[in-house]
Structure 1
C-alpha cells in the first residue's frame, strides 16, 4: 500500500511538472517573466542580405514585446531564401528615385528596405495601400516603448522603403521567416526591462 502511494505521488508530481512546462509563453506568470533577462548583443550597425523576389509586400504590422518592439513586413508566398533587406540607421530618410525628404519622428531613424515591390509587377497595381510620406496604414504606435513613427517612403525598382522612427539609436536585429521580414528594436542597450 505504501508502494502504491509513492507511485501515485510520483505520477502526480510528474503530471503537475509536465503541465507547468507545457504552458505557452504568454501564460507564464508575470513574476517569472520579470526575472528573465532580455537578449543583448544585436548592435546598431547596418544589416543587409542580398536576395530578391517579385512577390509583393501586402502588409506591414507592428507588435510590442517584453524586450523589444517588432515590425513585420508581410510578403506572402516568398520563401526565406528569396527575401532580401537592408536595415540601417540614417540621419534623414530620402525617398528612392525622387530624393524627396520623408520626415520621420523619433530620436533616431531606421531605414528599412525589403527587396520586394509593394505593387503587382505585372499590372503595376498597388498591393499595399500606403502613400509616400504618410504613416503606415493600420499601424498605431501608441504605448510602444521604442517605436515612435512609421512612414512609407515608396516602392521603386522592386524595392519597398520604409522609415521607422525610434526613441533613440538602439540595438536591432532582422529575422527572416517564409513570407516575412521581421525587424526587432530593443528597448535598451543593457538587456534590462
Structure 2
C-alpha cells in the first residue's frame, strides 16, 4: 500500500514537473516569433507598371508586411508639415504602413524608390513618398479619374500591391 501511494505521488510529481517545463517552453517559442515581428518592417522601394487592363503599384518591404490602409483623399500632403505634395491629378490615394520605417535604427535612409515621380500610365499619373514619421510610412498616388483599385499582400519577398483598373465604373 505504501509502495502504491509512493508511485502515485511520483507520477503526480513527474506530471507536474513536465507541465511546468512545457509551460516555460511555450512562451519561449512564442517570444521568438514575436521577436521576429517586433522588428519594425522597412519600406525599401516603390515601383509601378502598366498592364493591359490595370496599372500596378508595388511597395517592397524588408521584414513583414505591417498593417496597411489605402484611403482616397482629396489632396496629398506631406506628413509632419502638412504641405501639399506637388503631383498633378484630380483624385488621390494615400497608402499608409504602420508600424513601418523608411530608415534604419541609425537613421540612415533605406528607401530607394521615388520621392516624387510623375508617371504617364493609363490611370496612374504620379507617386510620392509623403511621410516617414513616428512609425508611419506614407505614399501617395495621383490619378486624373476616380481610381477603382484592389489592394493585397504578396510574400517571399514581402510586398504590398495596389492594382488600379483601367475600366471606369
Match in the other structure for 1:72:
58
1:92–1:103 Cα contact (<8 Å) kept: no
Equivalent residue in structure 2 for 1:141, among 108, 116, 119: 119
Bigger shift: residues 173-182 or 105-114 = 105-114
Asked which structure has the greater CA Rg, the reply is 2
- Deviation sequence 1:70-122 (CA, Å, 0-9, x none): 000000332xxx421111111111222222221221221111112221111x2
Shift of 1:141: 2.5
The structure with the largest helix share of the pair is 2
Match in the other structure for 2:29:
none
Shift of 1:162: 1.2
Match in the other structure for 1:163:
140
Paired with 1:83 and 1:70, the residues of 2 have a C-alpha distance of 20
With normalisation by structure 1, the TM-score equals 0.61
Give the RMSD, CA atoms, in angstroms. Answer: 2.2
Match in the other structure for 1:61:
47
Ranges of 4+ aligned residues in structure 1 off by more than 6 Å? none
Mapping of 1:1-193 within 5 angstroms? 54-78=40-64, 82-115=65-98, 116-120=100-104, 122-129=105-112, 134-136=115-117, 141-142=119-120, 144-178=121-155, 179-190=158-169
Structure 2, unaligned stretches of length 5 or more? 1-36
Match in the other structure for 1:45:
none
Change (3 A) 1:53 1:189: farther
The structure with the largest strand share of the pair is 2
